[in-house]
Structure 1
Amino acid sequence: MNKKSLSERDICTKYITPAIEKAGWDRLTQLLEEVSFTNGKIYVRGKLTARGARKRADYILYYKPNIPIALIEAKDNNHSVRAGIQQALDYANILDIPFVFSSNGDGFLFHDKTADNDPIETELDLENFPSPETLWLKFNQFRGIVTKEAEKVVSQDYYFDGSGRSPRYYQQIAINRAVEAIAKGQNRILLVMATGTGKTYTAFQIIHRLWKSGKKKRILFLADRNALIDQTRRGDFKHFKDKMTVVKHRMIDKSYEVYLALYQGLSGADEEANAYKQFSPEFFDLIVIDECHRGSAKEDSAWREILNYFKKATHIGLTATPKETNEVSNSEYFGDPIYTYSLKQGIDDGFLAPYRVVRVNLNIDAEGWRPEQGKKDKDGQEVEDRVYNRKDFDRHLVIEERTQAVARKLTEFLKGYDRFAKTIIFCTDIDHAERMRTALSNLNADLVAQNHKYVMQITGDNDEGKRELDNFINPEETYPVIATTSELMTTGVDAQTCKVIVLDAEIKSMTKFKQIVGRGTRINEEFGKMYFTILDFRNVTDLFADKDFDGDPIRIKPVTEETDLSNIVDEEENQATPLIDEITGQEIIIEPEIRYPEPQTPTDKVKEPREKVYVNGVDVSVLISREMYFDNNGKPITASLKDHTKELIKGQYASLDEFLNRWNSTDKKEVIIKELEDQGVLVEALRDAVNREVDLFDLICHVAFEQPPLTRKERANNVKKRDYFTKYGEQARKVLETLLDKYADEGVTNIESMDILKVKPLTDYGSPLEIIKQFGSKAKYLEAVKELEQELYKTGA
């Protein structure tokens, strides 16, 4: 047998797999082939979406299920044994795997990340692949797992419920790193994972492994919202069954092993209300703090006292948005994150939904508004003469026409998109959310008449709205469709099918902005939720350009105790915070105390702020509405779309001739489209910017190489003028002429698909088989289509 003639798959089957098995790896439990570990990035093309390629390793070797320790990249025998090592190293770096191999079927190149003084890369014969025990021993030494007790904890199996669900690669890394750290004695741990990436499931698996191994016996899961506790109890933690309880009304039963509790249920304003003290300080040996950037993040908060009381326990903080300010530091308390999985990574991997951003600028927001002389508010009082700007609107000054303009723009958007797309509108405060609900109800009276829950105000003070929160986030429930809110839905709301987020509040806090964006990042393919749109009326999405948006938080809290913090006001902490009254079970709004600088002299007077001023009769209009575009790194494109695209295309094709050769030699033009999109070319956006009637071919030639573009119709007419079809029979000629018309209407990728033979008017010529018969065979039909394409592009650019 000639080894060089074998495919890569044959090399794997005949040489690589047998060598691994001979070394002692169990094919059923330890050796996985062709492992896809990402879902493929979602690309948005107008209203359509497409998945990019998944990342796939040829082999991943596991010592225990979900504990991967080695990765192998295979090549056919026309490559050297080293040929796959760089790709293997890239994948191993992503997957946190220390032992990396490349093979062409002759042997293995072994890259050992644990090597210290030894050579880092060595060649091995097929007979000398290392055994599971050899690599496991090296793995534990490298990770610092040196005792039998620690090894018992680290090798504890995951929980499997028989449904086939298992942790994604990044969840595996977070779980394994946390369990390893705790096995080695680390007691403060921070995990940073973007909203929608399964923090609670990750926490469940960490707790389960520590609990089953006997390392941790009593566990407390802490959160500060009822919704978070309910989702946890009914969701991932349900497998704890009768070992788990929810602490309610400060009633403590010490016979359970896993406790779910609200901070508010354990602490109160006076000593008697501090229910956590019914437990001894040593009762819990593991505490998991959900959304740890809030509540207990602040050193002097009442809630931090709970953590201090149980200070001997291991504390794990979970957050999508670790907080680092002059006053609050997650990393100071927990240490630096042991693992971070960012929004950008989640979108690139295809586990999180990408976003479109539409910026809407209103005239009074851009230019400011100054009342005309003698202008009176709705109460008949004269409005103070000054220029009011976006920061004033809805907080100090309410302009009825502005509320109407925002509601009208959103309604127009939904009518052109999907009137039943789940939508959250973030307003300045509860009053603003009330008014927005009314404005939207009036503009959507037809749907509100069918069901008054089409638009609902869901805020902390509104019982009816809060009762509908579960229905809003339930994909199976149609209503409510639109939710107006202020603070209640910024976090802890698992809105899988939220397709539109509207920003009509001033948001300067990066933490809060990330949390709000996180409401849209979940994917639900069953219900068609693959991406979401942000409608921004306040330029909040400027924060996307901030280097901190998807970067690691930098610890900035001063170490010195002498720093004067008296004048520092934390933007987010001063927002109205929804809390839960444990006695009534109701969510309430508490306005936190804001610290202002002390007056300098006894004669200084603090001016009392006037209540909100309400005015109407103001001309409000949309100045501009435009979509923002983002590059492959998730950063806003600041250059013009054409300039940005030109740069990307020229990075792919250095000259017009190079592009023409590639175009004419490629059988399926969608391959070129896919390549360009992978490079970050926004094909659909470019069509909108140039001309939707222009083919991709002309778009590229025009934008990158400054050639005058022809429309698809012009190209089709040029072919018809050349009377190119005369060599075919009458029926075949009619088919090709119809394909030409289809090209003019829809583009080249449509005529390349065999499915086009199943749609009108082509179905008038018979079934796909009957049509193909007119050309003699399928191969000849495809050849005719290829020739048609060559005729279309014959004139070059």
Structure 2
Amino acid sequence: MTPETKARQQIDQKLEQAGWVIQDMKQLNLSAKVGVAVREYPTDTGPADYVLFVNRSAVGVIEAKKDSAGENLTATESQTERYATANLKWRKDNSPLRFLFEATGQIVRFTDNSDPAPRSREIFHFFEPETLAAWLAQPGTLRRRLAEQMPALPTQNLRDCQISAVTGLEKSLAQNKPRALVHMATGAGKTFTAITAVYRLIKFGGAKRILFLVDTRNLGKQAHQEFMAYTPPDDARKFIELYNVQRLASSSIDPHSQVCISTIQRMYSILSGEPIDESAEDLSLNEMQQTTKQEKLVRYNPAVRVDSFDFIVIDECHRSIYNLWKQVLDYFDAYLIGLTATPDKRTFGFFNENIVAEYTYEQSVADGVNVGYDVYEIETEITQKGAAVKAKEWVDHRDRQTRKKRWGETEEGIAYTGKELDRSVVNVSQIRQVIQAMKTAVEMQIFPARKETPKTLIFAKTDSHADDIINIVREAYAQGNAFCKKVTYRAEEDADSVLASFRNDYNPRIAVTVDMIATGTDVKPLEVLLFMRDVRSKGYYEQMKGRGVRSLDGDSLKRVSNSADGAKTRFVLIDAVGVEKSLKTESRPLEKKPGVALKDLLQGVAMGSRDDDTVLSLANRLVRLAKQLDVKAQARIEKASGGITVAELGKGLIAALDPDAIVAAALTTARGKGITRNEDTLLPEEIEAARAERVAAACGPFDKPELRDEIEGARREREQIIDHINLDQVTFSGFSEQAETQAKAVIDSFVSYIAQHKDEIAALSFFYQQPYQRRQLTFDMIEELHEHLSRPPLMLTTERLWSAYVRVQAGRIKGGDSKRQLTDLVSLVRFALGMEAELKPFSEQVDKRFQEWIFRHNAQRATAFSPEQTEWLRLMKDHIASSCSISRDDFDYAELADKGGLQKAWGLFGKQFDELMNEMNEELVA
């Protein structure tokens, strides 16, 4: 069979799958079906390979090529165009054919000549005749509508960054760019922005159906809730009252839906025929914890046509659309719109570097959309240096999965590093010391004015580690079960209900998670993140930090944290494992077959499976295993391998597939045979031979069954040593150098602002005036100053400024554990101007001056103030401390009115009343 004949057979098969009837000219019967593809149809420029008829009318042409020409299909477009504009024999209407295809047995490219500036694109499969018939019946194409019919965007209720994202996307679509990336910081409203765009694409762009693709069931649920809540700017009805939104839970796409929300796992299952493991939809592919095998390729499914969706919106596109999963996106003839807060180089590359909107975390903080964060570090001795349990010590041994314990002696001495904590060894003292240090720091330094524990999220290493943390948290805080709960996919309690309570209710105050709240989950009241696990992925780490960045208004925060004073202005990242300093990578994991068991990978390599995916997956497992095994297990494996360690076995497999090393080996072999070669002239078979030789050498040790048994046996070992013997102690607890640098920047911006605006703002003018004018300071002036300072981009609230001074000049700060009041801004300004040597709460300064003032008055008067008069003067002093001044009108406020108000005060002090009041205003605020 010639390559041309083989390609024609494959093209015929694809056309028949799509519902076309294939005919030769001799058997021509245009009434056989809606769509008829006629081979070798005569034209005045020669026979066309295929002419497509829909409802008896010629509508398109296919130029067929053998597979070897697949790389150059675009070069044949002129041929296709020639046949499309040629005169077809027996055809009365000789207008150009609209639909142009170039095809080999493997590749299909398509051009719609009705598009503005028609451009070919690769499609997964031929369209069905009904699709072409529907397009012919429309007045214009989707691409023409996007270029010519999209009206201006109404901007009410949209942030600037959302306006920029929607308009940038629509501009990109108008230019027929197939992929677009929307980079918006966490909390900036990516989903709301996407729904705004989806609404316009359906209403004005005439989109038939849009796929909203997520990678966890939880994200799909959140997206569905946002679609249900969305009301467009030009219609009083909800989105779901206007258009059908389907949250896909089976293999059937509702033909009446305009929006379909699906996990990429489910869509892959539909297209590949691979049964879906329902639990796989709960796990983010970014965390590489899939449990299902992923081996089948996506194939054409007549029930899910390639034109089913006009657009695919990919939520959290930085993590789920690569490697095997990319087939889902390749299948559909749709524009791809990516949403992410943490793009990496791979993301930019996939979306053709077409970034239609970019709104960074720093910009979002400046705009008040998100809040900034401080880093607080906790170091313990065992975290840094590890410890050792001597031989014959009696300790607990615990099964990793069943949690069953046995009390027994250690067979030999066990030394462990900080990296091994909570995997092979659990040191309860280390966990306790970290939790206690966090508790002390939050209560005394980070949020000293709070009466309840701020909402806190702890990232644990494993499910077992999470359980240990929960037990110790409840004990350390002397609280019950409701106070601290686990929120993971494996938790016995319904994760969604716990998460809802964590978000909206008083309890739990602290949540512990391994995977579920790491990315994409919105918990706005979060103010503390404790990292008790390290993260190597830069993008994943940014996503985890993103759980704390959401801003929140004061009323909403008070609903779950009653003692919170005002809106959420920051969160604190407490680093107990060096996560801020550890090396981060943007590269993807080596794991290619995460669902294949280690023993099957070992057996496969021994049987001769040497493909890249298998070899790299085995390498990844071995490198990971090497970090988990104790010295004894590593020694057994090294002995069985003939002296090669577990880590070296894994590294050897990776090195064997190094492309540069393979080329170098091929060149060496060729030169050894006396053949002159360079990198450009090496033959494919020479490169493959060098690869096979290198891989065979690296895989050689796995031929030994005893090595395979030792490796698998080591993996099955899952007992943990519970170290109750080595007691840990905190070696450092404080804000990181980065936090101190940030604090200095806050203070610098404050001092600079005071100097620049001293003549514009009444309160600042007051501080630069002579002492006798001090009585002019009012609460309104302080409130005006605070409003100027707390607005973006400064975001200098009283709380934040005070915290910054505590961090940088702790020795000169007094009363740092009291709750901040707005009038403390007076103390801050005076301290910044050098008018005070120490920074004290304004109320303490007023108290001190009051004591001096009343003592002086009693000494000068013939009769000292009576106890009742003194009590009233204290009430007036307290009002000045909270409001900067007091006047006759203030006696209507509750604390003074309840005691008798102005009438009572006048009765006590008589004609001296106004004089005493003015004197207090001047003296106590001085």
Give yes or no for TM over 0.5: yes
What are the equivalent positions in structure 2 for 1:304-343 lying under 5 Å apart? 304-310=326-332, 312-324=333-345, 328-343=346-361
1-structure distance, mates of 2:223, 2:619: 28
User: Which of 1 and 2 has greater Rg?
Assistant: 2
Specify which of 392, 404, 429 is matched with residue 462 of structure 2.
429
Q: Give the equivalent residue in structure 2 for 1:272.
A: 273
Residue identity (%): 21
The aligned residue for residue 813 of structure 2 is 691
Change (3 A) 1:156 1:398: same
State the number of aligned residues.
588
Taking a change above 3 Å as real, the CA distance of residues 708 and 195 of structure 1, as seen in their structure-2 partners, is: closer
Q: 1:702 to 1:152 in 2, by over 3 A?
A: closer
**1:322 alignment partner, SS class:** coil
Task: State the distance in 1 between where 2:618 and 2:192 align.
Answer: 33
1:363-387 superposed Cα distances (whole Å, 9 cap, x missing partner): 3224543446765653333565546
- Tell me by how many angstroms 1:232 deviates: 1.6
Deviations along 1:464-486, one digit per CA (max 9) or x if unpaired, are 242534533552x4554432211
Instruction: Please report how far the alpha carbon of residue 291 of structure 1 lies from its aligned counterpart in structure 2 after TM superposition.
Output: 0.7
**Residue number in structure 1 paired with 2:893:** 758
* Conserved 8 A contact 1:321-1:514: yes
| Counterpart residue type for residue 314 of structure 2 | I
Structure 2 distance, partners of 1:462, 1:499, is: 23
**Residues in 1 aligned to 2:146 and 2:743: alpha-carbon distance in whole angstroms:** 60
Aligned CA distance change for structure 1 residues 686 and 342 (closer, same or farther; 3 Å):
closer
Q: C-alpha separation between the residues in 2 aligned to 1:276 and 1:479?
A: 50
Change (3 A) 1:284 1:774: farther
Contact 1:498 1:520 in 2 (8 A): yes
Shift of 1:341: 2.2
Deviation for aligned residue 1:751: 5.9
The 5 A counterparts of 1:38-49 are: none
- SS state at 1:626 partner: strand
1:287 alignment counterpart: 312
> Quick one: distance in 2 between partners of 1:662 and 1:669?
18
- Asked if residue 154 in structure 1 is aligned to residue 151 in structure 2, the reply is yes
Residues 336-485 of structure 1: pairs in structure 2 closer than 5 A: 336-355=354-373, 357-371=375-389, 378-379=396-397, 380-382=409-411, 386=415, 388-389=417-418, 391-409=419-437, 417=450, 419=452, 421-443=454-476, 446-448=479-481, 453-472=482-501, 475=504, 477-485=505-513
CA offset digits 1:291-319 (Å, max 9, x no partner) = 101110x3xx2211111112x31111011
Alignment-derived partner of residue 263 in structure 1? 264
Equivalent runs, 1:598-617 vs 2, <5 Å: 598=652, 611=718, 612-617=720-725
One-letter amino acid of the structure 2 residue matched with residue 615 of structure 1? D
CA distance in 2, matches of 1:445, 1:355: 28
Output the CA distance in 2 between the equivalents of 1:347 and 1:769.
Answer: 50
What whole-Å deviation, never above 9, does each CA across 1:84-125 have from its counterpart, x for those lacking one?
Answer: xxxxxxxxxxxxxxxxxxxxxxxxxxxxxxxxxxxxxxxxxx
Q: Give the structure 1 partner of residue 104 of structure 2.
A: none
Deviation at 1:459, TM superposition (A): 1.6
Q: Which residue of 2 aligns with 1:638?
A: 741
Partner of 1:70: none
Gaps of 5+ in 1: 1-145, 159-164, 549-555, 558-567, 578-589, 630-634
2:892 and 2:411 map into 1 onto residues whose CA distance is: 71
Q: Distance in 2 between matches of 1:571 and 1:669?
A: 58
1:179 aligns with 2:170: yes
How far, CA to CA, are the matches of 1:255 and 1:696 in structure 2?
60
Q: Which one has a larger percent helix, Structure 1 or Structure 2?
A: 2
Indicate whether 1:538 and 2:560 are aligned. no
Equivalent position to 1:224, from 195, 209, 215: 215
Question: Which region of structure 1 is more displaced relative to structure 2, 464-473 or 727-736?
Answer: 727-736
Correspondent of 1:737 among 873, 884, 895: 873
Local SS of the residue matching 1:339: strand
Could you tell me whether the CA contact under 8 Å between 1:472 and 1:479 is conserved in 2?
yes
Note the 1:29-44 alignment, pairs <5 A.
none
Equivalent pair of 2:311/2:335 in contact (CA under 8 Å):
yes
8 A Cα contact 2:392 2:410, kept in partner: no
Q: Which residue of 1 aligns with 2:23?
A: none
The separation in 2 between residues aligned to 1:308 and 1:323, in whole angstroms, is 21
Structure 1 position 730, deviation (Å): 8.0
Is 767-776 or 348-357 further displaced after alignment?
Answer: 767-776
1:167 to 1:756, Cα distance in 2 relative to 1, 3 A = farther
Q: Which amino acid aligns with 1:302?
A: L
Match of 2:851 among 717, 722, 727: 717
Q: Which amino acid aligns with 1:233?
A: H
| Structure 1 pair 366–788 and aligned structure 2 pair: CA distance change class (3 A) | farther
Query: Does the CA-based 8 Å contact 2:470-2:486 persist in structure 1?
Result: yes
Between the aligned partners of 1:480 and 1:216, the Cα distance in structure 2 is 44
SS of aligned partner of 2:396: coil
On the 8 A contact 1:374/1:383 being kept in 2, the answer is yes
Amino acid at match of 2:734: R
Mapped partners of 2:424, 2:888: distance in 1: 58
Provide the rounded CA distance (Å) in 2 between the counterparts of 1:480 and 1:574.
37
The aligned amino acid for 1:289 is I
Give the RMSD, CA atoms, in angstroms: 4.9
**1:204 deviation in Å?**
0.8
Matched letter for residue 737 of structure 1: L
The DSSP-based 3-state class of the residue aligned with 1:235 is helix
Pair 1:486-2:514 in alignment: yes
Alignment-mate amino acid for residue 597 of structure 1: K
Contact 2:528-2:571 at 8 Å conserved across structures: yes
Give 1:216 deviation, angstroms: 1.9
**2:220 touches 2:263 (CA, 8 Å); kept in 1?**
yes
Rate the CA distance shift 1:614–1:279 in 2: closer, same or farther, 3 A: same
| 5+ residue gaps, structure 2 | 1-142, 230-238, 275-297, 398-408, 559-566, 597-616, 624-649, 656-696, 702-706, 759-763, 817-823
Q: CA deviation at 1:430?
A: 1.4
Structure 1 residues 716 and 230: alpha-carbon distance in aligned structure 2, compared to 1, 3 A threshold: same
Residues 469-517 of structure 1 show CA distances to partners (whole Å, capped at 9, x for unaligned) of 4533552x45544322111211122223334332211123332222222
- Aligned partner letter, 1:791: E
Corresponding residue for residue 198 of structure 1:
189
Note the alpha carbon deviations across 1:123-143, whole angstroms, 9 max, x for none.
xxxxxxxxxxxxxxxxxxxxx
In the alignment, the residues of structure 1 paired with residue 534 and residue 890 of structure 2 have an alpha-carbon distance, to the nearest angstrom, of 49
CA–CA separation in structure 2 for the residues paired with 1:497 and 1:752: 39
Aligned counterparts of 1:717 and 1:576: Cα–Cα separation in 2: 74
Cα contact 1:317–1:334 (8 A) shared by 2: no
SS of equivalent to 1:492 = coil
Q: CA deviation at 1:284?
A: 1.3
Taking structure 1 as reference, are residues 535 and 521 closer, same or farther at Cα in structure 2, changes over 3 Å only?
closer
Seen in structure 2, the aligned counterparts of structure 1 residues 226 and 787 have a Cα distance that, compared at 3 Å, is same
| Aligned residues of 1:437 and 1:456 also touching (Cα < 8 A) | yes
TM-score, normalised via structure 1 length: 0.62
Structure-2 residue corresponding to 1:122: none
1:791 corresponding residue in structure 2: 923
Distance 1:753 1:264, change over 3 A: farther
Q: CA deviation at 1:396?
A: 3.9
Q: How does 1:119-130 map to 2 (within 5 A)?
A: none
Q: CA 1:494–1:459 in structure 2 vs 1: closer, same or farther (change >3 Å)?
A: same
- What is the CA-CA distance between 1:768 and the residue it aligns to? 5.6
Contact 2:488 2:515 in 1 (8 A): yes
Q: 1:773 deviation in Å?
A: 10
